[in-house]
Amino acid sequence: QVQLVESGGGLVQPGGSLRLSCAASGFTLDFYAMGWFRQAPGKEREAVSCISSSDGRTYYADSVKGRFTISRDNAKNTVYLQMNSLKLEDTAVYYCAAHAHSIYATSATEYDYWGQGTQVTVSS
């Protein structure tokens, strides 16, 4: 059974940090590009960060550049999103997704598997 399970979300103050993890089971991440998306209430789901499987090329939304870092550990079949200097506007449900291609995509419709999401709330 193919499954992606996110963890690491929670409540954090502005300026704080969180590390999200996405553990895959039922398939190997080696040949999948991976993405982190987020969706805030009343807003569309948006790509936050993506990483290719072939060369480790990465993408970051302008709103998170310099603050978030995506990484992958294929040996652990896990992808991470390190989030630093969190802002109020980072509050959203964060989803991990797998794209059955070596090069990442930034459109959610391109992704084949999705996790259930983890809530990140930035509040003082």
Strands (E), the chain: 3-7, 10-12, 18-25, 33-39, 46-51, 58-60, 68-73, 78-83, 92-99, 113-114, 118-122
* CA-closest candidate to residue 63, choices 86, 96, 94: 86
**In this predicted structure, what is the pLDDT of residue 46?**
97
**In this predicted structure, what is the pLDDT of residue 54?**
81
3-state SS class at 35: strand
- What pLDDT, in 10s, does the model give residues 45-66? 999 999 999 888 999 999 999 9
